[in-house]
Amino acid sequence: MNTKYLTATLLLLISEFFLLDLPEKESVFWIAIIRILTAIILSAWYYQHRKPLPTLMDKLFILTLILPIFISLCVIIFPPIIKDFNLITHAFILCIWAVIFKLMGAKIQFKVSPYKVMKVVPIYALIPILFYLFSLHAVLPTSDKILLLSYSVIYLYTNTLATFLPINDSNKFWISWGIILKAFANFLVFYGIFIEQLPWIGFIPRTVVVVARCILILSMIDYFAAKQTAQMQGVVSS
């Protein structure tokens, strides 16, 4: 089941690359359509594994896959507001992930696990904050500064929560890196939106985002499978 959805997602991603050669208006329109289709396929992929979405975590996670559809619709229908709408939507998605991590049992405990905080700070805090300070802060109007700083703080909090997830290390690793990759790609996109397009980046952010979403889907499927197995073993042993 995973193979057909991965294949469809890959084909749509490749098609975006060829659409870049179209005139700008046509390219923007058709790429937005392709991205809507990609979001639908990714949502369907997760739904097929977890239907009928029995938990709140399932519903919240599939919402993170659906929300990018509205970004693409905004590109088509309301392009003047895409800059702020894109950033706010991605910040909201990070907030949803924070709620998911809370539901999974994550709880930041500085006193209990100080070494984890030391591991988090250089990876999760410094990179987005330094990116914001050195590449965006000086040239942005106040409203945009507030939005980007808010995104950075939400990102820091969400990934700190991920570090304290009470799940196996492998699953925690992939979920954490799925969030990292999405944020990395988002910062590249924000730079292109708020400052200038970087021709040398090209297709990298979109590829990273799609890969990150696939990683997160597989990680969440694996999380629930492991949880179900543990529950069944608990029933048998009792």
165-222: pLDDT as tens digits: 888 888 888 898 888 888 888 888 887 777 777 665 667 888 999 999 999 999 999 9
pLDDT at 126 over 60: yes
Bond before 52 cis per omega within 30 degrees? yes
136 C-beta neighbours (distance < 10 Å), count: 19
At 97, the pLDDT band (50, 70, 90 cuts) reads very high
DSSP 81: G
What is the pLDDT, as a whole number, of residue 49?
A: 94
Q: What is the pLDDT of residue 192?
A: 78
Higher pLDDT, 125 or 214: 214
| More confident of the two residues 103 and 123 | 103
Higher pLDDT, 147 or 237: 147
pLDDT above 60 (res 236): no
State the CB neighbour count (10 A cutoff) for residue 77. 11
Residue pointed to by tokens 């410094």: 126
Percent of all residues in the chain with a pLDDT value above 90, rounded to a whole number:
47
- Residue 67 structure tokens: 């929300």
How far, in whole angstroms, is CA 127 from its chain's centroid? 17
Give the model's pLDDT for residue 122: 46
- Measured distance CA(130)–CA(126) in Å, rounded: 6
Residue ranges of domains in the chain:
2-237
- C-alpha 137/C-alpha 130 separation (Å) is 10
In angstroms, the CA 224 to CA 50 distance is: 9
- Output the pLDDT for position 13: 94
Q: Which residue has the tokens 């991965």?
A: 6
